[in-house]
Amino acid sequence: MPRLNFATRAALTLALAWAAALLCTALHTPLPWMIGPLLATALCSMTGAPTVSWNVLRNLGQWTMGTALGLYFTPQVARMVGSLWWGIGLGIVWALLLGWAFSAWLYRHNAARMPQVPAPQLRATAYFAGAIGAASEMTLLAEREHARTDLVAASHSLRLVIVTVSIPFALQWLGAQPLPDLMPAAIRTVQPLGLALLAGLTLCGVALMQRTGRPNPWFLGALGVSVGLTVADVQLSALPVSWVNAAQLVIGVSLGVRFRREFLRAAPQWLGSVAVGTVGLMVVCAGFAWLLHWATGLPWVTLVLGTSPGGIAEMAITAKVLQLGVPVVTAFQVCRLIAVLLLVAPMYRRLYPQH
């Protein structure tokens, strides 16, 4: 195949993703605009197809979803979420302990199978691969501790895809019903002038997050501004459905292109243990969500998404599309993300000072 330039590869990848989304829509699969592109892109990437994700589109997709999700945080919702501070705190402690337990299992399971990796390096690799946090940030922290960053990044990519694909299908199989009366978006109509102002303000939030070096600035920056406006009862505009669908598509593509041939050849035994462990994580998180459901009275499916070992954007998108309590899911995931980023490295140094 002749070498294709970047623009051509990006256009072909988007065409593939769009066709996959239409197919999944016709088949009535959950989250067709994200899962379809993700699976199609991943399968083609693993066969050697020249798929590519354009970072600009991925960033715009994260900005779109952050803005859309913030519109659910009405003053009433903010008070409700604030009353759940203790549950969110338990979710943070649970995520830290679960990530540590998963990393310990990864280390014990792979130590004898990977003698070529020194024990201290494998310990650091397992710790940051098991941490339930953002892939890019965990990889950066792992590099500082001299871990195998390729294995850390691959582990988070694989876990994210497994969770993103399996949980929506599992909820559909279990017969989870939408919760339309649980905290709808503050505004549901598109107002052109209001939309332009909302876009400008949220992009300012993105710029501020970038300037201060905060993680995931396109998502969290837009989310923060959108939440602030909605809590203050400033209703500018909803986002067009086409924007939200397009955002899911490009986020799905950005996940799918990570799965190259080299990804599968890197360490198949390691990735196999990550896959098995991820299934176990989802099962125990579902049990923890049931305990929170019993204690709070909130729907179990909402708490499953809020406490699952998936990414904040992907789980929040699932909650939005399936109408399963966006603000609660977003609050749990955002607070967990911030806490893990702040605490996971000091915990490593405290647990393993000799490394």
User: How do residues 97-112 score in pLDDT, each as one tens digit?
Assistant: 999 999 999 999 888 8
Contact 57, 37 (CB under 8 A): no
Using CA atoms, how far residue 13 sits from 45, 89, 106, in Å, is: 10, 41, 34
- Kindly report, residue by residue over 285-315, the tens digit of the pLDDT: 999 999 999 998 888 988 999 999 887 777 8
Residue 217 corresponds to which tokens in the numbers above? 């600035």
CA–CA dist 91, 312 (Å, integer): 14
CA nearest to 281, candidates 172, 169, 165, 162: 162
Length of the chain: 355
User: What's the confidence (pLDDT) of residue 184?
Assistant: 57
User: What's the confidence (pLDDT) of residue 1?
Assistant: 45
CA–CA dist 320, 238 (Å, integer): 14
| Sign, CA torsion 213/219/222/223 | negative
Contact 117, 266 (CB under 8 A): no
User: What's the confidence (pLDDT) of residue 276?
Assistant: 93
User: What's the confidence (pLDDT) of residue 185?
Assistant: 58
User: What's the confidence (pLDDT) of residue 179?
Assistant: 64
Identify the burial level of 291 via C-beta atoms within 10 angstroms of its C-beta, where 0-12 means exposed, 13-18 middle and 19 or more buried. middle
CA–CA dist 193, 88 (Å, integer): 36
CA–CA dist 345, 297 (Å, integer): 34
> Tokens 């098991």 sit at which residue?
130
The whole-number mean pLDDT for each consecutive block of 10 residues of the chain, a chain of 355 residues, reads: 76 94 89 88 88 91 88 81 88 93 92 83 91 77 82 84 87 73 64 93 94 82 91 89 91 84 74 92 94 90 89 80 81 85 87 76
Phi, psi of 341 (to 5 degrees): -60, -35
Report H helices in 47-174.
55-70, 75-82, 85-110, 119-130, 135-144, 149-173
